[in-house]
């Protein structure tokens, strides 16, 4: 039997995946010790005050004498369980409506205290904070952080400290002062901003923290070992609160927006006359239905001050994932999350979620076909008529999240020689998400479920390709034992989508499944279907603790019919994924390192026919040096793999494997000038592809109030196979047209932040983006699974291909069949874009904000495919910009 190169590669891949598996199994056998030492919980005894202290950052109110100092902080970073370099002490008082906190941060060198000025939630410079588990469910908490500059930070903590939500913005009060002994922070936290049950006497979980910026040192009041599986359940306790009552507050935030646009005038187009203006109003609100449940609502929400998505060129068959930035959907989003394939092991489904809020208010679906001389005004986003969220957690550990939103029947206005008509481009749509999760044994076991629904009122037959109804449901559970160090979690989900035949046929033929693949005998397109159903699930088992070794193994499966893109995000169905992860941590300083981390993964994919598609192995490392520089990188080996989507509905194609690696280095981020840089290299076997990417960043803070960053990125991609088009002629087999491509992309991201006061800031963001793609050596696919890579396609000879420069199209006359003549457009492209935002934000009263916004966009395209940054930038900034000027005023008040 011959032992060719493919056999040797398979042997190496088997070795790479079996060795980690064996090592992992041995380690499972060795992991017998339970989590760390028993640590006594600290207790702070608070007291009631009849007279409230003045929030001025000074310890000059006699009421503070009613309680003793809490102290004895312990260092947790960089050295664990050692005395901190500076002492910290605190006091806590309460009355019927507020909690009062005073923190004294001693410093022997007060002139070195870092007072970096920043906007809320930027967490920069020296800081202290208190985290309060007022539910005392040992799973959730509310964090209030004071920066020495006087800036605030606040976060909602869930999942036992494994999720911190910066979007939570309660109304509370803070003053800081600096003296010769160090600095002080004095807080007033309204009880209306916390959640607690009806009790005669309360016990709350609390943690106090301090960060000394110049030492990168963190100390805490209640010691919690590094690597603990969660932290809220390990917090110390606050005793002595008696007689307070839950607050049922109503908060309203009405706002008004004035908007003006200026752009290039287009002759003959009545909708592009160079200017637009409008005035609108809306209302955001928050109502405490009970002390456990809060109703958030928004009527005619406006997100004009939200930063635009980054520019991109996407040549794949799949949608790009963009993070949610709109405040209404960001705040409290964790309760609505159901990520069906979230594992430590690497895979291509990490972003998937049964609820993807970017679907609500998206760009309209329908692309109009206009006749000659017609012009259309199409809305840039679907109008959200209203949205509400009901969320909270009961004293019995039941988390509840309900989201309901209605978007308008959005219509485009079409003008034909002065005659106007309207056509629906997005139907009236209702979106619903219901999520529950029950904690047992203080979160050691959880059981939850989710239901989502999308219902569209489709009145325009041109939109019948959209599903009329789409429903998903899922259950998830987790269980941990041995003080939460061992865990087993899982979930299962299902979907059903209903609509006209063309809608369901479109789903079957979409990039998530490609049922039309001629070699897929276990699925097929049924054009008579009016519904599509599917299911999926993920299970994982692992160990995570303060020990040096951790591991996880997992399996994910998704049936071919699973579909949740109407309200969720999903790229792939018809997949089975399995992998294992093993990690080694050194968390305390040693030798030249502050810490060190190393892990290895392997993972494999199959489809539902049982065919193995691919195998990967990967190693990552991450280390911080004692000078606080950091280095990290990874190395990945990809085996020969079978792609079921490369031909966009054609047969599966066998691709060569490859090697991929990257390396990143960053300097001490606490310095006024800090740098980072990185490099990615991808090398395909048999010269099938070559990819390079380079990035760097310069962060400069010349003064406490000003920060400037500059981040260029440059990438080069060369591939033998880039999809161009599928040619289908009558009585002819489909031709899958590909080409080699050289793609170059360069972008610069510039940010400037100036913070006048913690309440008044100016932020600027700008990004010029240039990308060019040059196609060459056109070819069509012959035998997708031939033994040799070059036998899998045929490159057109000069005698077979001709180019019409005027029409910008190629014509193919195949030598093997003179009657086979077809053409396709030249796919070369140049894409240039500039996006910028200038935002002045003034919180003129607590919770009330004035925004002044200037946004500018420029976009231009060309078709030569030649990358020339100087010429591209000249062309980009030579066109007229689209400017948007916006003033938004909101006023917060409570009832």
* Residue 168 binned pLDDT confidence (cut-offs 50, 70, 90): confident
Name the least confident of 318-327, 456-465, 560-569, 741-750: 318-327
Burial tier of 850 (Cβ tally within 10 Å: 0-12, 13-18, 19+): middle
For 433, the token pair is 């998400």
Nearest one of 200, 110, 180 to 148, comparing CA atoms? 110
The CA distance from 795 to 236, in Å, is 70
Close Cβ partners of 577 (under 8 Å, ≥ 6 residues apart): 341, 347, 349, 554, 555, 556, 557, 603, 604, 605
Report pLDDT for 4: 37
Q: Which of 641, 111, 15, 564 is nearest to 339 (CA)?
A: 564
- Asked if 658 contacts 616 with a C-beta cutoff of 8 angstroms, the reply is no
**Which pLDDT score, from 0 to 100, does residue 34 have?**
42
Element (H, E) at 5: helix 5-30
Beta bridge partner(s), residue 677: 665, 696
CA distance 690 to 879: 34
For residue 547, the model assigns a pLDDT of 76
Mean local confidence (pLDDT), 600-606: 96
Beta bridge partners of 100: 93, 188
Q: List CB contacts of 189: < 8 A, sequence separation 6 or more.
A: 98, 99, 100, 101, 132, 144, 170, 172, 173
Separation between Cα atoms, residue 384 and residue 300, nearest integer Å: 6
pLDDT band for 548, please (50, 70, 90 cuts): confident
Q: Report how far residue 682's alpha carbon sits from residue 691's, in angstroms, rounded to the nearest whole number.
A: 5
Q: Which neighbouring-strand residues pair with 555?
A: 539, 578
Q: SS3 of 296, please?
A: strand
d(CA 268, CA 272): 8
Beta strand pairing status for 419-426 and 410-416? Answer: antiparallel
The rounded Cα 204 to chain-centroid distance in angstroms is: 32
The predicted pLDDT at position 817 comes to: 57
Tens of pLDDT, residues 481-519? 988 889 999 999 999 999 999 999 999 999 999 999 999
pLDDT in tens, 612-631: 999 999 999 999 999 999 99
Minimum mean pLDDT range among 231-235, 309-313, 434-438, 660-664 = 309-313
Beta bridge partners of 489: 478, 540
Q: Which residues on adjacent β-strands are paired with residue 666?
A: 630, 676
Cα maximum dimension of the chain: 99
Taking only the tens place, the pLDDT of each residue in 108-130 is 999 999 999 988 898 999 999 99
The whole-number pLDDT of residue 33 equals 43
Higher-confidence residue of 733 and 132: namely: 132
Percent of the chain with pLDDT over 90: 79
Is the pLDDT at 1 greater than 90, yes or no?
Answer: no
pLDDT tier at 18, thresholds 50, 70, 90: very low
Q: What is the band of 134 on the pLDDT scale with cuts at 50, 70, 90?
A: very high
Range with lowest mean pLDDT among 8-17, 54-63, 574-583: 8-17
Q: Report the DSSP beta bridge partners of residue 44.
A: 238
The predicted pLDDT at position 246 comes to 81
DSSP assignment string, 528-575: T-SEEEEEEEEEEEEE-SSSSEEEEEEEEEE-TT---TTTSB-S--SE
Most confident of 21-30, 280-289, 578-587: 578-587
**C-alpha to C-alpha distances, 307 to 277, 340, 562, 860, nearest whole angstrom:** 20, 29, 33, 20
The length of the chain is: 895
Q: What is the pLDDT of residue 36?
A: 43
Asked if 662 and 636 touch (Cβ cutoff 8 Å), the reply is no
Q: Is 633 helix (H, G, I), strand (E, B) or coil?
A: strand
Instruction: Report the DSSP beta bridge partners of residue 593.
Output: 590, 625
Phi, psi of 293 (to 5 degrees): -120, 135
Instruction: Kindly give, in sequence order, each residue whose CB lies less than 8 Å from that of residue 587, ignoring residues fewer than 6 positions away.
Output: 80, 226, 227, 546, 595
CA–chain centroid gap for 482, Å, is 32
pLDDT beyond 60 at 869: yes
| Phi and psi torsions of 77, nearest 5° | -155, 135
pLDDT digits (tens, 9 = 90+) for 173-224: 999 999 999 999 999 999 988 988 888 899 999 999 999 999 999 999 999 9
Report d(CA 90, CA 207) in Å as an integer. Answer: 11
Cβ–Cβ < 8 Å for 677, 696:
yes
d(CA 278, CA 276): 7
According to the model, what pLDDT value does residue 249 have?
Answer: 77
Mean pLDDT value across residues 566-592: 95
CA distance 809 to 534: 41
Q: How many CB atoms lie within 10 A of CB 628?
A: 17
Instruction: Express each pLDDT in 711-738 by its tens digit.
Output: 999 999 999 999 999 999 888 889 999 9
Distance separating alpha carbons of residues 202 and 48, to the nearest angstrom: 13
* pLDDT score, position 815: 73
pLDDT, residue 197, reads 80
Locate 789 and state its tokens: 């890579």
pLDDT at 636: 97
Which residues does 232 contact at the CB level (< 8 Å), separation at least 6?
131, 133, 138, 139, 140, 141, 157, 160, 161, 205
Distance from CA of residue 302 to its chain's centroid? 21
| E strand or H helix that includes residue 51 | none
pLDDT value of residue 108: 96
Element (DSSP H or E) covering residue 780: strand 760-781
The domains of the chain are located at 43-242
pLDDT at 28 over 50: no
Q: Which of 127-131, 291-295, 381-385, 848-852 has the lowest mean pLDDT?
A: 291-295
Question: Which pLDDT belongs to residue 38?
Answer: 67
Q: Given this model, what pLDDT does residue 3 score?
A: 31
CATH code that applies to domain 43-242: 2.60.40.1190
With 70 as the cut, is the pLDDT of residue 29 above it? no
Mean pLDDT lowest among 17-31, 545-559, 663-677, 684-698: 17-31
Inform me whether the pLDDT recorded for 19 exceeds 70: no
Burial code (b: 16+ CB inside 10 Å, e: under 16) for 370-391 equals eeeeebbbbeeebebbebbbbb
What Cα–Cα distance (Å) separates residue 854 from each residue in 165, 669, 752? 28, 30, 14
Name the residue among 698, 701, 649, 651 with its Cα closest to residue 677.
698
The tens digit of pLDDT for each residue in 381-391 reads 999 999 999 98
> What's the chain's average pLDDT?
91
Element counts in the chain: helices (H) and strands (E)? 4, 48
Structure confidence at residue 819 (pLDDT): 59
């Amino acid at each position: 039997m011959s032992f060719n190169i493919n056999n040797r590669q398979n042997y190496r891949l088997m070795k790479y995946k079996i060795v980690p598996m064996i090592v992992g199994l041995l380690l499972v056998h060795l992991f017998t010790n339970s989590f760390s030492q028993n640590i006594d919980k600290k207790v702070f005894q608070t007291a009631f005050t009849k007279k409230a202290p003045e929030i001025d950052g000074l310890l000059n109110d006699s009421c503070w004498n009613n309680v003793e100092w809490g102290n004895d902080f312990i260092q947790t970073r960089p050295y664990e369980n050692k005395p901190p370099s500076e002492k910290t002490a605190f006091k806590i008082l309460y009355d019927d409506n507020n909690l009062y906190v005073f923190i004294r941060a001693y410093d022997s060198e007060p002139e070195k205290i870092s007072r970096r000025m920043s906007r809320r939630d930027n967490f920069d410079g020296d800081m202290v904070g208190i985290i309060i588990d007022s539910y005392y469910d040992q799973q959730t908490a509310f964090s209030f952080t004071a920066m020495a500059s006087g800036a605030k930070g606040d976060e909602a903590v869930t999942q036992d400290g494994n999720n911190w939500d910066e979007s939570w913005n309660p109304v509370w009060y803070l003053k800081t002062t600096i003296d010769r002994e160090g600095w002080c922070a004095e807080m007033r936290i309204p009880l209306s901003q916390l959640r607690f049950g009806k009790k005669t006497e309360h016990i709350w979980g609390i943690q106090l923290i301090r960060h000394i910026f110049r030492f990168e040192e963190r100390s805490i009041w209640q010691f919690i070992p590094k690597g603990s599986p969660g932290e809220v359940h390990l917090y110390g306790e606050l005793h002595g609160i008696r007689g307070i009552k839950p607050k049922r507050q109503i908060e309203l935030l009405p706002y008004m927006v004035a908007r003006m646009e200026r752009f290039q005038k287009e002759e003959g187009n009545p909708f592009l006359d160079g200017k637009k203006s409008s005035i609108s109003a809306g209302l955001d609100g928050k109502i405490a239905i009970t002390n456990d449940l809060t109703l958030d609502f928004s009527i005619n929400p406006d997100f004009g001050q939200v930063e635009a998505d980054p520019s991109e060129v996407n040549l794949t068959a799949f949608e790009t994932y963009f993070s949610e930035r709109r405040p209404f959907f960001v705040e409290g989003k964790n309760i609505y999350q159901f990520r069906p394939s979230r594992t430590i092991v690497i895979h291509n489904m990490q972003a998937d979620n049964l609820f993807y809020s970017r679907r609500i208010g998206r760009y309209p679906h329908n692309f109009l076909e206009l006749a000659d001389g017609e012009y259309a005004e199409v809305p840039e986003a679907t109008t959200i008529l209203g949205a509400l969220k009901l969320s909270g957690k009961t004293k019995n550990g039941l988390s509840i999240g309900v989201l309901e939103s209605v978007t308008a029947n959005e219509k485009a206005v079409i003008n034909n020689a002065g005659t106007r008509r309207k056509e629906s481009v997005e139907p009236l749509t209702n979106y619903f998400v219901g999520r529950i999760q029950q904690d047992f044994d203080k979160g050691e076991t959880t059981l939850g479920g989710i239901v989502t629904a999308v219902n569209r009122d489709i009145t325009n037959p041109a939109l019948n390709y959209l599903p009329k109804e789409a429903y998903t449901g899922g259950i998830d559970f987790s269980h941990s034992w041995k003080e939460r160090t061992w865990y087993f979690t899982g979930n299962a989900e299902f979907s059903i989508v209903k609509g006209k035949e063309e809608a369901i046929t479109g789903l079957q033929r979409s990039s998530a499944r490609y049922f039309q693949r001629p070699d897929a005998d276990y699925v097929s397109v049924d054009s008579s279907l009016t519904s599509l159903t599917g299911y999926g699930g993920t299970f994982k088992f692992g160990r995570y603790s303060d020990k040096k070794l951790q591991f996880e193994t997992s399996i994910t499966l998704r049936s071919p019919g699973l579909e949740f893109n109407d309200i969720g995000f999903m790229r792939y169905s018809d997949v089975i994924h399995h992998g294992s992860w093993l990690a080694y941590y050194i968390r305390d300083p040693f030798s030249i390192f502050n810490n060190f981390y190393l892990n290895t993964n392997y993972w494999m994919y199959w489809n539902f026919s049982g065919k193995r598609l691919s195998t990967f192995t990967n190693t990552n490392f991450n280390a911080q040096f004692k000078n606080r520089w950091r280095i990290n990188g990874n190395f990945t080996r990809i085996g020969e793999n079978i792609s079921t989507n490369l031909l966009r509905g054609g047969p599966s194609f066998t691709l060569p494997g490859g090697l991929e690696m990257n390396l990143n280095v960053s300097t001490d981020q606490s310095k006024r000038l800090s740098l980072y840089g990185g490099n990615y290299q991808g090398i395909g076997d048999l010269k099938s592809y070559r990819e390079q990417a380079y990035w760097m960043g310069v962060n400069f803070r010349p003064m406490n109030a000003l920060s400037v960053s500059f981040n260029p990125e440059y990438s080069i991609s060369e591939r033998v196979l880039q999809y161009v088009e599928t040619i289908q002629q009558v009585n002819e087999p489909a031709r899958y047209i590909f080409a080699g491509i050289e793609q170059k992309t360069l972008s610069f991201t510039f940010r400037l932040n100036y913070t006048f006061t913690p309440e008044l800031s100016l932020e600027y963001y700008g990004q010029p983006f240039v990308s060019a793609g040059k196609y060459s050596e056109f070819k069509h696919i012959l035998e997708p699974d031939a033994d040799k890579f070059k036998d899998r396609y045929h490159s057109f000879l000069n005698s077979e291909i001709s180019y019409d420069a005027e029409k910008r199209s190629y014509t193919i006359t195949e030598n093997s069949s003179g009657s086979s003549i077809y053409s396709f457009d030249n796919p070369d492209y140049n894409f240039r874009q500039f996006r910028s935002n200038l935002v002045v934000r003034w919180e003129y009263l607590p919770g009330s904000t004035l925004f002044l916004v200037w946004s500018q966009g420029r976009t231009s395209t060309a078709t030569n495919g030649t990358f020339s940054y100087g010429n591209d930038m000249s062309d980009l900034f030579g066109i007229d910009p689209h400017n948007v000027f916006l003033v938004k005023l909101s006023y917060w008040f409570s009832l």
